[in-house]
Amino acid sequence: MENSVIEHDDAKIQESYFTDGILAAGVEGVLAKNNKMFKEVRSGTWSQTFNTKNIDYKIGAMDGERYVQYSQKNVEAVRQSCKEKREFYKEHGTDNPFFAGTFHAMELPKCFAHEISSKWFNNRPWELIKREKKDKILFYAIVNQFYSDFVCHPSGKIPLPYNPIIPTK
The Cα-based distances of 39 to 17, 28, 43, 62 in angstroms read: 26, 12, 6, 14
Answer yes or no: is pLDDT of 62 > 60: yes
pLDDT digits (tens, 9 = 90+) for 106-150: 888 888 888 898 889 887 888 888 888 999 999 999 999 999 999
Per-residue model confidence (pLDDT) at position 12 = 65
Per-residue model confidence (pLDDT) at position 19 = 46
Report the distance separating Cα 142 and Cα 128, nearest Å: 16
Report the distance separating Cα 47 and Cα 43, nearest Å: 12
Q: What is the largest CA-CA distance in the chain?
A: 77
Average of per-residue pLDDT across 58-80:
84
Of residues 57 and 93, the one with the higher pLDDT is: 57
